[in-house]
Amino acid sequence: MKKFTYTLLITFITLSAWGQSEQLFTFYMFNQLNFNPAYAGSKEVLDAGAIYRNQWWSGVDGSPKNLNVFAHMPFAGRRNGFGINLLTDKIGLDKILSVGLNYAYRIKLQNNNTLALGLGARFEGARADWAKVNEFVSLGDGSIGTGEDSRTTVNFGPGMYFTNPNFYLGVSVPRLLRNSLYENKDAFGSDVNTYYFQGGIILPLSNNVKLYPNTQIRYNPHAPFDFDANVNLLFFDALTVGANLRYQESVDGLLMYHFKNGLKLGVALDFTTSELSKATTGSYEIMVGYTFPCEDCFIKNLRYF
């Protein structure tokens, strides 16, 4: 019964957040298509990867398991960008699939600066298997479904993304519509929009060590203040060692290795600091990515953001 209670708790917590915010990843700085469509094409070449996240993996049945597969690239003289972002979630009784298509118009400025204006559309579907709940309750309970329930929605949102070889700044509103997979509302709704602010910078500490701090602030007028603050150290332009603070939720550590051929592999561990620490030790992520080579351009710090 205790495991069943945690399953329902995780389901309700996650569903209540779905209509307001996107899924959170500790490797958020390596794929910003989740929350900013203007990121598409920002690597100046084809960039692809996948992130698997197992959240609250120990002690909580039905905890979220996310898989994010993404790819983006510039086109038409690198003045436009296109990206695709796939997300699958298994959360308690629900299985969710999200397909995001992102376009960015990229304006080349002086001193290797670029300002991108983006628009993203996403198609989402969810299926709930209520038969699993009935395994733990008496038969004939009319308040709980007996089969599968499914729903689909469409949403869209804009973003801006400014890049320099040594830093980036972004702002976005991934969802402009009030709808969600769990509400029948299809109108503009500023009262539920979550605003994302992100930034990062590369600071050389020596010939072989660079400091790479990042932050993501999530603001919703009707939700608690939320942010991630991250600090990475880059050794020999190959090894990334970092720490991340997720406000009132976890303290995280990450490792990533950038191979010279464009491949990167990483792992992250989140240590829960919220009330859920009584039930679980935390979460983990595994990331694999590949930045394709560029034969006709020279791009500084291509592998960092």
Q: State the residue range of the domain holding 235.
A: 2-291
Q: Is the separation of the CB atoms in 124 and 39 below 8 Å? A: no
Tokens (6 digits) for 56: 């609250």
| pLDDT tens per residue across span 116-138 | 999 999 999 988 765 655 555 55
What's the sign of the alpha-carbon dihedral 51, 55, 58, 63? negative
Q: How far apart are CA 159 and CA 157, in angstroms?
A: 7
**Residue 32 included in any domain:** yes
Q: How far is CA 205 from CA 6, 163, 209, 238, in A?
A: 46, 21, 5, 15
Tokens (6 digits) for 225: 């203040």
**Residue 137 included in any domain:** yes
**Residue 135 included in any domain:** yes
**Which of 251, 252, 232, 207 lies closest to 303, judged by CA?**
232
**Residue 301 included in any domain:** no
| pLDDT tens per residue across span 252-270 | 999 999 998 899 999 999 9
Kindly report the length of the chain.
305
**Residue 229 included in any domain:** yes
Cα angle 189, 190, 192 (rounded to 5 degrees) comes to 75
**Residue 171 included in any domain:** yes
**Which of 225, 221, 222, 267 lies closest to 246, judged by CA?**
225
**Residue 277 included in any domain:** yes
| pLDDT tens per residue across span 88-113 | 988 767 788 999 999 999 999 998 89
**Residue 302 included in any domain:** no
Q: What per-residue confidence (pLDDT) applies to 8? A: 43
Q: Which residues contact 218 (CB under 8 A, 6 or more apart)?
A: 21, 194, 195, 196, 226, 227
pTM for this one?
Answer: 0.85
Q: Which residues contact 90 (CB under 8 A, 6 or more apart)?
A: 64, 65, 96
Burial class (CB in 10 A: 0-12, 13-18, 19+), 261: exposed
- Look at residue 7 and give its three-state secondary structure: helix
Identity (one letter) of the amino acid at 152? Answer: T
What one-character DSSP code corresponds to residue 113?
-
**How would you write the pLDDT of the chain (305 residues) with one tens digit per residue?**
444 444 444 444 444 444 446 788 999 999 999 999 999 999 999 999 999 999 876 666 667 899 999 999 999 999 999 999 999 988 767 788 999 999 999 999 998 899 999 999 999 998 876 565 555 555 555 555 556 678 888 999 999 999 998 999 999 999 888 776 655 555 555 556 899 999 999 999 999 999 999 999 999 888 888 999 999 999 999 999 999 999 999 999 999 999 988 999 999 999 989 887 777 778 999 999 999 987 665 554 455 67
Q: How far apart are CA 278 and CA 9, in angstroms?
A: 14
Residue keyed to tokens 């308690």: 92
Q: How far apart are CA 171 and CA 181, in angstroms?
A: 24
Q: What per-residue confidence (pLDDT) applies to 188? A: 54
CATH number at residue 95: 2.40.160.40
Domain count, the chain: 1
User: Within 10 Å of residue 249's Cβ, how many Cβ atoms?
Assistant: 18
Q: Which residues contact 142 (CB under 8 A, 6 or more apart)?
A: none
